[in-house]
Structure 1
């Protein structure tokens, strides 16, 4: 399965998307990397794929560079100022003020004011050169290293192709240290708040360059999930992401859990749980053959999973079992967030909706 979760949701959204007016460009082309996100009264109805908390503020990111923020747990929203109109996929705030969002065209955005305004730190036009600058000096020292030869060749190809890259998730452990992951094994780390990014492609057990869909901590462990049953865990001593064997070879779209219980979830309702730091995984039976595309953990310890179609499943036993929550409306969902007041906000092809705490 090589289809990115965002691509699937975007396809579902295409028939129902609200039309947006674009600026008229004299030469017939406007690069989304140079076109600020349009301020629009219809922004609430756009497709959204990422949600997070910034303190008690809720932040949503999505299609056409739209970013919304809410200070009342998703009841009302305001639109942020964003310098690009690339589709955004994921967002994280390690502190109430400082956060990052990533998406298509290799975009990495940073906010210093709790998500009200954003600046660009990286885009796909720079990624190929960044990779070349990292791997070419190493190849000069080890000219017979086949792995480095391939990485330099791949970097040159990315440079030649331009901005067509996709980052699919982002997570920061502090306001300075963070990671971004994406298509074809793209993975970078920053130690200075995104001013510089270090490639980690050679530090992953991912020889087939599978897509990396999700990046999340569970307890003290940092996991990456991707295609073909790929689950990686960071070994902090070596700085390497080591493969964790799983009993499933389909795509995993996300990671969730709490100390002592990690869960990965993905295609066709497949959810697997580990209680031994990722060394082994057992299947969690959901009786729901739909892809699981979103998750959140409540302050009271409940773990929430949401299907591609919007079914909400809740666990009160650390992910060992889940029971369905009654929904009044179902629609494709890409992200979920339990808010400070216990409500559940869902993001997807029909915008943002809030389900009160039951």
Structure 2
């Protein structure tokens, strides 16, 4: 018996379109290892750190590189391809890297191999559990934290971490966008949200965290500056005569220096009680800075400026690097030189 085939409009369209082609499956950068590449050292790099005598750099697509002489670079084994923003090495072998998608990476061999300790999805769970159901629903602060927690959960893995600092191999902080701050006291095996321990009710981005003068400071958007009250274990807001974004800070036993947009820098010698403007004579964003072992201070800009101070940050003069390029990070290098990272990779300069 002849069976008549019924052709529906959808069947006709499918036949005309040809065979179905499988669509590529999206893999999150949190789950995709960084790709080895001979050109990784030439890619934009956002972070630098000294791991003992070794220099470690990190940047886009999960690339981490390390060098023991500042000339020959090797690419590390990294389990993610998220863009990385900051590095911290409290010792020569123990180090941490942070970046987009909330990734926190850890190394125990000076930066050659890395493992993932946390990511943005896990951070959302931590924040949700910590603040999702306040004990006192009538408390305005508890309500604010609950709303923050709900926003973190709704955003999923989108949790940019922007800086990391470790006091030693066990105790450290990571900070990031929208008031994100986490604390560990066991080398990153567990992390505790500190959103309730920081005076940042508007949820400003946190760009930098560093010690100075025996205290710990954080800087961020719209002139946000905070100092850790060690007794109360809370970051308390400081008053600055500047309302622009601050990208970072540095310090030593005598002073703390904050820096940011349009060449703005401010210095305090009384633990953040009062601040004086530092004339940098540049108008580009100051992106990174370090205090060197000889007592001098170096600031760098996104326009390629390299500034050096020999009076503990009270005044700066332009240095003369061999090559001018946008700078995103700076770190000490062997022989009193500095390593600079940004567009075009890493270069080592002996500043004049």
Using structure 2 for the length normalisation, give the TM-score.
0.91
Q: Which residue of 1 aligns with 2:113?
A: 117
- The answer on 1:216 being equivalent to 2:213 is no
**How large is the Cα RMSD of the aligned pairs?**
1.4
Equivalences for residues 8-27 of structure 1 within 5 A = 27=24
d(CA) in 2 for partners of 1:193, 1:333: 30
Contact 2:320–2:351 (8 Å) recurs in 1: no
Q: Which residue of 2 aligns with 1:191?
A: 185
- The answer on 1:69 being equivalent to 2:63 is no
- The aligned length equals 331
d(CA) in 1 for partners of 2:199, 2:152: 21
d(CA) in 2 for partners of 1:344, 1:150: 44
Which of 93, 96, 100 aligns to 2:92? It is 96
- The answer on 1:200 being equivalent to 2:194 is yes
Query: Structure 1 pair 54/304, CA: closer, same or farther in 2 (3 Å)?
Result: same
Equivalences for residues 83-162 of structure 1 within 5 A = 83-136=79-132, 139=134, 141-162=135-156
d(CA) in 2 for partners of 1:166, 1:44: 23
d(CA) in 1 for partners of 2:136, 2:269: 42
Secondary structure of the equivalent of 1:100?
strand
d(CA) in 2 for partners of 1:65, 1:326: 31
- The answer on 1:37 being equivalent to 2:31 is no
Q: Which residue of 1 aligns with 2:157?
A: 163
d(CA) in 1 for partners of 2:300, 2:189: 35
- The answer on 1:275 being equivalent to 2:269 is yes
Secondary structure of the equivalent of 1:208?
coil
d(CA) in 1 for partners of 2:296, 2:341: 19
d(CA) in 2 for partners of 1:332, 1:49: 11
What are the superposed Cα offsets for residues 222-245 of structure 1, whole Å, 9 maximum, x if unpaired? 110101111101011101101111
- The answer on 1:350 being equivalent to 2:306 is no
Q: Which residue of 1 aligns with 2:13?
A: none
Is there any run of 5+ residues in structure 1 with no aligned partner, and where?
1-24
Q: Which residue of 2 aligns with 1:52?
A: 49
Displacement of 1:51: 0.7
Displacement of 1:136: 3.7
Secondary structure of the equivalent of 1:250?
coil
Contact 1:222–1:234 (8 Å) recurs in 2: yes
Which of 78, 84, 91 aligns to 1:82? It is 78
Displacement of 1:127: 1.3
Secondary structure of the equivalent of 1:184?
helix
Secondary structure of the equivalent of 1:228?
helix
Which aligned runs of 4 or more in structure 1 are off by greater than 3 angstroms? Answer: none
d(CA) in 2 for partners of 1:287, 1:229: 20
d(CA) in 2 for partners of 1:250, 1:70: 36
Contact 1:129–1:155 (8 Å) recurs in 2: no
Displacement of 1:27: 2.5
d(CA) in 2 for partners of 1:62, 1:352: 11
Using structure 1 for the length normalisation, give the TM-score.
0.90
Displacement of 1:133: 1.5
Query: Structure 1 pair 273/61, CA: closer, same or farther in 2 (3 Å)?
Result: same
